[in-house]
């Protein structure tokens, strides 16, 4: 008979192997912000971002917005270069927060 009728059991609550990330604090309302938009040019960002921008402008009066075209396509033929340059681009643009639009 051997191992017939016997099964290995895997415990579903295995030890976590991922690192816990510290989240940034939420933006304080009422103070102007500089908000950037990032897009993968896949699904309707050109329609959605203006709506999001209007809502954010209402919530954070006096804020300025940096369009996705300023940063490049985060899912295009040169996405590795775009993403590698992104931290410095965000710093140089003095971005307080980013809205990222991706589709699958």
Q: Does residue 56 lie in a domain region? A: yes
Q: Does residue 28 lie in a domain region? A: no
pLDDT band at 1 (very low <50, low <70, confident <90, very high): low
pLDDT at 104 over 70: no
Calculate what percentage of the chain has a pLDDT beyond 70.
Answer: 95
Q: What are phi and psi of 2, to 5 degrees?
A: 65, -125
Alpha-helical (H) ranges within 11-93 are: 45-59, 79-92
Q: Does residue 20 lie in a domain region? A: no
Residue 11: C-alpha distances to residues 8, 14, 16, 56 (Å):
10, 6, 12, 45
In terms of residue numbers, what domain contains 59? 40-101
Q: What is the rounded distance in angstroms from the CA atom of residue 77 to the CA atom of residue 41?
A: 12
Give the mean model confidence (pLDDT) for residues 64-89: 94
What local confidence, expressed as pLDDT, does residue 38 receive?
95
Query: Coil, helix or strand for 50?
Result: helix
State pLDDT tens for residues 25-47.
888 877 899 999 999 999 888 99
Q: Does residue 84 lie in a domain region? A: yes
**Count: domains in the chain:** 1
Sign of CA dihedral 39, 45, 46, 50: negative
Q: Does residue 12 lie in a domain region? A: no
Q: Does residue 90 lie in a domain region? A: yes
Q: Does residue 14 lie in a domain region? A: no
Angle formed at CA 49 by CA 76 and CA 43, multiple of 5 degrees: 45
């Amino acid at each position: 008979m051997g191992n017939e009728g016997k099964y290995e059991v895997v415990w579903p609550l295995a030890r976590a192997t991922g690192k816990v990330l510290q989240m940034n604090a939420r933006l304080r309302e009422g103070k102007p912000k500089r908000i950037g938009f990032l897009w993968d040019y896949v699904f309707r960002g050109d329609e959605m971002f203006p709506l999001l921008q209007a809502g954010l402008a209402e919530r954070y009066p006096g804020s300025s917005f940096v369009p996705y075209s300023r940063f490049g396509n985060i899912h295009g033929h040169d996405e590795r270069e775009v993403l590698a340059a992104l931290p410095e681009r965000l710093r140089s643009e003095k971005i307080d927060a980013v809205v990222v639009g991706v589709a699958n």
